[in-house]
Amino acid sequence: MTVDTESVSKGQRASSILEKPALTVAEVAVLTGLSRQTVTEMFEHERGVLIIERPETMHKRRYRSLRIPRAVYERVIGRLAVR
């Protein structure tokens, strides 16, 4: 069964995203309202983030895929929150 993302409210999408054990950069961007580039820069050097990478070769560019565990996401967002 597929779900039409246009008909699903932002709150419902956010709650279903947060149920996953590790988040993608795109999912964190939706949750925070930031760009994918900003999210990548925020999380790429955080301890606990999973980076799956194929290094650059002479004729092919580098590919990276980041997976952000919920605990890391909550730690970083908590650190950035205004108190």
Residue 26 belongs to domain spanning: 10-80
Total count of domains within the chain: 1
Q: What per-residue confidence (pLDDT) applies to 76?
A: 94
Residue 33 lies in a domain: yes
pLDDT in tens, the chain (83 residues): 444 444 445 555 666 666 778 999 999 999 999 999 999 999 999 999 999 988 889 999 989 899 999 999 999 999 988 76
Q: What per-residue confidence (pLDDT) applies to 75?
A: 93
**What does the DSSP 8-state code read for residue 29?**
H
Residue 3 lies in a domain: no
Q: Are 36 and 30 in contact (CB under 8 A)?
A: no
pTM for the predicted model, two decimal places: 0.70
Q: What per-residue confidence (pLDDT) applies to 35?
A: 96
Residue 41 lies in a domain: yes
Q: What per-residue confidence (pLDDT) applies to 39?
A: 96
